[in-house]
Structure 1
Amino acid sequence: MKPKGAERLRPDAAGLSRAAAILRGGGLVAFPTETVYGLGADACNDDAVAAIFDAKGRPNFNPLIVHVADMEAAKTLVLWNVEAELVARAFWPGPLTLVLPLRDDAPVSSLVTAGLPTLAVRVPAAPVARDLLAAFGGPVAAPSANRSGQISPTRAAHVIEGLGDRVDAVLDGGPCSVGVESTILGLYGHPTLLRPGGVTEETLEKLLGRRLAERHPSEAISAPGQLRSHYAPQASVRLNATDWEPGEARLGFGDVPCDVNLSPSGDLEEAAANLFDALHRLDATGAEVIAVSPIPHVGVGVAINDRLSRAAAER
């Protein structure tokens, strides 16, 4: 168990230097990406990676994403191909994770891959994440910085509330701009959408010139974010609510009466950026049920509905 309370670091030169030193020493540092806050550790240190699973209470069969500074760094860890080059040039840095065959000489801990022959890698766009990777100088394994299965954090306060006694430091870079985890694209066979996210399926298909396959829910876990129950508040979640029951906390979208509105104007990107913070806020009211307005299942709305459906799943 970590000492009570994590160091809260500013994303300046001193804070970044301190965060990198903690990572080099095998510690855990939460840091903001454009999607959510990640719980980072040296991806090549078995003990440090094991500490991620311990801090989150994460099952060890659930693999981690490794964050790297650039495409060349990714190529030292995975077997690159033409499609990876195409999508990485289009969307990196950014909210897209690629799952590719692991190189035999890749130095990452086997705990990162959960024993799979593939590795999930991405180059984040958030300046604080990029500055931390540069200061550290190596790959950083980083799932979302929350207890396993609970609401993802998009602000430093969310991390401190959930993991304050389980993480060494939090780099406070303010709120995350995208607000839902990265899209995960499998490129170890036919291109497969393993998790919807900030880069839409339609955009990827247009770039690749062919339809993506989709992972069947009954298939074994092959990437993060595939557990049936995930991103869940303490309250139960009722989806597609067009009316409200007494005592429910009301999460709205569009021009509807509610307690918290993801986007009064019906903007899906705004809704995605606000999703997890809104769930944190409503859960803090102590309501037993959070009722959610219907969200259009188009564009980034697909990712929003994916997160909400997992939040609403039986636990």
Structure 2
Amino acid sequence: METKIFKREQLDEAVSLLREGGLVAFPTETVYGLGALATRDDSVKKVYAAKGRPSDNPLIVTVADEAMMRPYAKEVPERAEKLIKHFWPGPLTILLLAKEGALPESVTGGLPTVAFRCPDDQLTHDLIAKLGYPIVGPSANTSTKPSPTTAQHVYHDLKGKIAGIVDGGETEVGLESTIVDLSVNPAVVLRPGKITPEEISQVLGEEVLINRGQVSDKDVPKAPGMKYRHYAPSAQVYVVDQAETFDKLDLDASCGVMATSDLLENLPVPEENKFNLGKNLTEADHNLFAGLRYFDDRPEIKSIYVEGFDQGEESLAYMNRLNKAAGGHHV
């Protein structure tokens, strides 16, 4: 299969491929998603096959606006309307009770809930609006690998497996959206992202919990990223909790280092074995997946040491992704 790269002026061709049941990757402000018609079971199953993704892992339904979401939700409670008004379009995914029979089980994982997201990207808004139906939108990468933040990342992983990629340039945020579960009370953040639990709590005017538990092998996760190893390159990743620990590491030519610019400056490793995460946590959020992919293309790199952050809710998303990439390995 040829995988075509589409620019804005070729959007109609991408829409036609989706309408015919094909897979088309699309940009968002967070990471690139892998699109298929959410109402077609055969199309959705192609997503699992292309990604090599476990079929019990539910998918996010990506919509152009709230009106497109409503036919697929059992109800849209006032709490959801508040969050939609404040954060959509944007990096917030909202889990609601699904309207029975409205979506195939391949989307919901057989659960009574479904996650909805309206990304802040004009290209993707136009793509879905032209299509007239919601699309599923898991990250457009091989399952367990770092999420893609450029069209080139998607092409690297899925060339020959999907019909096309809408190229919107490099993503802005770099980490997947926050997922908040509104099917329970109080609301629970299932996956941290740029929008923090505190921000959600302020808009709702109520307490918001944070899920810190693990999903067992026999359970179906309520949202993506809760159960399986994620975001990981081939080399073993280690989280470096304290900046001073870098000076004590025995770093050789098989080691890669990902850290902020001040830390990297004086580390005794070759320049090609360094990846600059930026000056601060915000820039590190943006660059984390790109760094993991940089070293994943270097087979001589066997270990990757990555700077950790301890900045409360602001660093929840970064540390969530990094811990999953490292499989819990810290130094």
Superposition TM-score tier, normalisation by shorter sequence = over 0.9
CA contact (8 A) 2:23 2:164 kept: yes
Q: Deviations over 1:84-127 (max 9, x none)?
A: 01111110000000000001252x22210010000100111111
Q: Alignment partner for residue 197 of structure 1, among 193, 197, 201? A: 193
RMSD (CA atoms): 1.6
CA contact (8 A) 1:229 1:314 kept: no
Structure 1: 5+ residue runs without aligned partners?
A: none
Q: Alignment partner for residue 274 of structure 1, among 277, 282, 287? A: 287
Q: Give the C-alpha shift of residue 228 in structure 1.
A: 4.2
Identity of aligned residues (%): 39
Q: Deviations over 1:14-63 (max 9, x none)?
A: x1100100000000001111111101000011110000001011111100
Q: 1:218 to 1:21 in 2, by over 3 A?
A: closer
TM-score, structure 1 normalization: 0.93
**Residue in structure 1 matched with residue 4 of structure 2 by the alignment:** 7
**Residue in structure 1 matched with residue 255 of structure 2 by the alignment:** 248
Task: Give 4+ residue runs of structure 1 displaced > 2 Å after superposition.
Answer: 213-216, 296-300
**Residue in structure 2 matched with residue 66 of structure 1 by the alignment:** 61
Q: Alignment partner for residue 136 of structure 2, among 116, 141, 151? A: 141
Q: Which secondary structure does the structure 2 equivalent of 1:76 belong to?
A: helix
The one-letter amino acid paired with 1:7 is K
Q: Deviations over 1:274-305 (max 9, x none)?
A: 11111111222221111011223434421011
**Residue in structure 2 matched with residue 261 of structure 1 by the alignment:** 276
Q: Alignment partner for residue 318 of structure 2, among 295, 304, 309? A: 304
Structure 2: 5+ residue runs without aligned partners?
A: 268-273
The one-letter amino acid paired with 2:54 is P
**Residue in structure 2 matched with residue 285 of structure 1 by the alignment:** 298
Q: Give the C-alpha shift of residue 83 in structure 1.
A: 0.5
Bigger radius of gyration, 1 or 2?
A: 2
CA contact (8 A) 2:55 2:106 kept: yes
1:45 corresponds to 2:69: no
CA distance in 1, matches of 2:7, 2:98: 34
The one-letter amino acid paired with 2:77 is N
Q: Alignment partner for residue 148 of structure 2, among 144, 153, 166? A: 153
Q: Deviations over 1:165-209 (max 9, x none)?
A: 111001111001011000000001110111001211111122222
CA distance in 1, matches of 2:66, 2:165: 26
Q: Which secondary structure does the structure 2 equivalent of 1:275 belong to?
A: helix
Aligned 1:4-43 pairs, distance under 5 A: 5-12=2-9, 15-43=10-38
CA contact (8 A) 2:95 2:181 kept: yes
TM-score, structure 2 normalization: 0.89
